[in-house]
Amino acid sequence: MTRLKSPTDILPVKLNKGYDMKPNHNLSAWGLESGSSGELVAAGCSTIDLAGRYGTPLHVVHERRLEDTARRFVTTAQAQYAGIVSVHYPFKCNSVPGVIEIIRRAGLKAEVMTQYELELALYLGFENKEIIVNGPCKTEEFIRKSIENRIGLLIVDSLEELVVIRRIADGMRTRPDILLRINPDYVPRGMNYGSATGSRKGCAFGLDLKSGEAGHALRLLQDSPGLGFKGFHFHIGTGIRDARDHADALSCLPLLVEEARRAGQMVQVVDVGGGIAATTTREFTSFEMLRYQALGTLPSRNDGRDEERCFANVTHAISHAVARAFPKGELPELIYEPGRCIASPNQFLLLTINGVKTRAGVGTWLIADGGLSTVTLPTYYEYHEVILANDVNRPLAEKATIIGPACFAGDVIYRNKFLPVIRKGEVIAIMDTGAYFTALESFFGFYQPAVVAVADGQARLIRARESFNGCIRRDVVSQHDTVKESVS
């Protein structure tokens, strides 16, 4: 019987002779270049200069590309649909205010799911009507604040929530416009039901279509003059690569529109949520995840797809699926909430390798100054390219494991990644960190990274590195009255 090898048995695999040793990063996929000394260059800025000037870990946002990607999404979606199209950026994806400001310049509105995000949207100058409030766990205070601020749309996640919103709105004599979030019981191709936010078995989100909750909600609304029904909301998962999934999940729409009509309601808005995959990275499939965790086999790279074509395919499929559900001339407003496909490719993370350990017969560990427990959580379930930022053309040499700085065995960025020989003090770039990296950072005793935006050869700081005072500010410590005063 063959004994299954443990991850440590197979850690250091030297490449076979004849393997193409050139790192085959297609830098242009991220709009990057190699500089005169072979270093990674973004918008005319040397990443090594940036790392020296701002320190690492450091997020670098490619400002013009981010704005261009966001604008491309809006114009492509509008070109595919005969009715009104609105695009709302989900703050949860990357809530760095400087990033949101760039995305907003492309004409995107806001989608928020917490009180902080609502306050941030107002602080950044979004008009109240430009804000959609969403989320499966809205507190009464958050609901009240949303209604008080006369936000554009309030999305109802459950029958219980609908009753609470109705009570609060009645007391306030303000009539919020609402969408009903539908759980269509749909699992996108290649996704397990636990990650499919539109699966009734895998996810609690939304009104359960199968058991008739949507019909029940529509009947409740007949008796709710304080609420303005506008239509339906869907969001079926994230990282979805096949345009057919977005369209297939909407196959319940004609029945819903009919049900609304029977309840005396007209559907004026269909919000299809987000979930469109980024073009330069991807989530592990369930099988890849199991294999990686059990055997340490890192899934292979993403091939990279054409952004314009991807946006066109998916918005074409969605536009048709929506239009099919309505009579000619009665098209509803179509809302998108894309996060990942806009933000992910236009940001990367610089980390310094602060130590290299090689253990005979075992392998090589590269110890980076940021890791899974601090700044790279999505590398646990997604494939991200890793580039040696100070020498992008150095040949690949071996499989190594990149770990973070925490004293915690699970602080692994990637196991068994084909890399060049990397030395202490060199800088790596983790690509595609624009979506769900800054949002999922955790402290664990390490200062959270700065974020710079680069454009036209200039860098500007849009988020400062966390400082001691910034961290201690919320704490009350007996011998420091000044701190106590600042939190009282």
Ligand X SMILES: Cc1ncc(COP(=O)(O)O)c(C=O)c1O
Interacting residues toward ligand X by CB under 6 A: 90, 92-93, 111, 134, 235, 238, 273-276, 337-340, 435
| Closer of 274 and 371 to ligand X (Cβ) | 274
Are 46 and 39 in contact by the 8 Å Cβ rule? The answer is yes
| Closer of 86 and 364 to ligand X (Cβ) | 86
The encoded tokens of residue 468 equal 């001691």
In sign, the C-alpha dihedral spanning 331, 335, 340, 344 is positive
Cβ at position 325, least distance to ligand X in Å: 20
Cβ at position 342, least distance to ligand X in Å: 8
Cβ at position 233, least distance to ligand X in Å: 7
Closest Cα partner for 323 from 261, 272, 262, 265? Answer: 272
- DSSP letter assigned to residue 206: S
Are 366 and 422 in contact by the 8 Å Cβ rule? The answer is yes
Classify 155 as helix, strand or coil.
strand
DSSP string, 356-412: EEEETTTEEEEEESS-TTTT-GGGGTEE--EEETT-TTPPP-EEEEEE-SSSSTT-E
180 CB contacts (<8 Å, ≥6 apart)?
155, 156, 162, 207, 214, 217, 218, 229, 231, 232, 233
| Closer of 288 and 382 to ligand X (Cβ) | 382
| Closer of 65 and 417 to ligand X (Cβ) | 65
Cβ at position 134, least distance to ligand X in Å: 5
97 CB contacts (<8 Å, ≥6 apart)?
120, 123, 124, 462, 463
| Closer of 41 and 133 to ligand X (Cβ) | 133
Cβ at position 349, least distance to ligand X in Å: 18
Cβ at position 475, least distance to ligand X in Å: 31
Measure the N-to-C terminal CA separation of the chain; round to a whole number of Å.
66
| Closer of 318 and 402 to ligand X (Cβ) | 318
CA atoms of 272 and 266, how far apart (whole Å): 17
| Closer of 346 and 352 to ligand X (Cβ) | 346
Treating both helix axes as pointing N-terminal to C-terminal, what angle do 307-323 and 63-80 enclose, rounded to 10 degrees?
Answer: 30
| Closer of 152 and 339 to ligand X (Cβ) | 339
The encoded tokens of residue 321 equal 């699926």
The encoded tokens of residue 267 equal 């559907």
| Closer of 344 and 390 to ligand X (Cβ) | 344
Cβ at position 311, least distance to ligand X in Å: 12
Cβ at position 439, least distance to ligand X in Å: 10
Cβ at position 431, least distance to ligand X in Å: 17
| 284 conformational bin, left if phi > 0, alpha if psi -120 to 50, beta if neither | beta
